[in-house]
Amino acid sequence: MSVHFRREIDQLKKQVLSLSALVEEAVWLAVRAVQERDPRLAERVIDGDSVVDAREVAVEEECLKLLALYQPVASDLRFVVTVLKLNNDLERIGDLAVNIAGRAKYLASQPPLETAFDFAGMATKTQEMLRLALDALVNVDPVKAREVCAMDDAVDAIHREVYCLVQKGIQADPVRVDIYITTLSISRYLERLADHATNIAEDVLYMFEGRVLRHHVQEYRT
């Protein structure tokens, strides 16, 4: 491939890294908004979503341009295809951060629940999965990518625990059903965020190994 193509690939990498940084910050702020019951932090996440959307469109357009103009093959083709796939995951993670921020605004206006949800533990695990997935992407590191995939079950288990606690909480205090449902939705958003981080990790493995692993999950969860 030409020197110009290599420069285009480098530019695409920079765009993806920029989008990744924005999304990671949005998740961090959204989690803080919930933990600190701070609607101002939540507003920052919501206001920044348009920037994430614009960057996602720019990355997609750059990928399509590279495919059309240069018709890359082998590892270069896998890289562009991988970026196209994980670009959508990054945008969806940004949307989930906005959803969490919206629920944080509501919870900030309500009295806190006495039920002990492990939100901090779930948020920490989910953020760690996202951080590792993005590190795996930056460094094309299959070891970190497999580590992300192996962590997903723990987040799923916490979400199931939250679901059970919400059920019990609603039965014991039905007047506060809206607060319990909002709490459950935040747990669900974090669980979905972890799924998208896993998708990114699987895409990194595809880029490194050249094969799709989504239907071979036991290979990295054993």
User: Could you tell me if 10 and 39 are in contact, meaning their C-beta atoms sit under 8 angstroms apart?
Assistant: no
Q: Cβ contacts of residue 55 below 8 Å, gap of 6+?
A: 15, 18, 19, 22
CA distances from 204 to 62, 138, 150 (A): 19, 9, 14
Q: How far is 149 from 145, CA to CA, in rounded Å?
A: 7
Mean per-residue pLDDT pooled into runs of 10, the chain (222 residues): 87 93 95 95 97 96 94 88 93 97 95 78 92 89 94 94 92 92 95 96 86 57 50
CA 126, 25, 54: angle at the middle one, nearest 5? 115
Q: How far is 76 from 57, CA to CA, in rounded Å?
A: 21
DSSP 180-221: HHHHHHHHHHHHHHHHHHHHHHHHHHHHHHSS--TT-THHHH
pLDDT at 116 (0 to 100): 63
User: Could you tell me if 26 and 98 are in contact, meaning their C-beta atoms sit under 8 angstroms apart?
Assistant: yes
pLDDT at 105 (0 to 100): 96
pLDDT at 212 (0 to 100): 65
| Full set of structural domains in the chain with CATH | 3-221 (1.20.58.220)
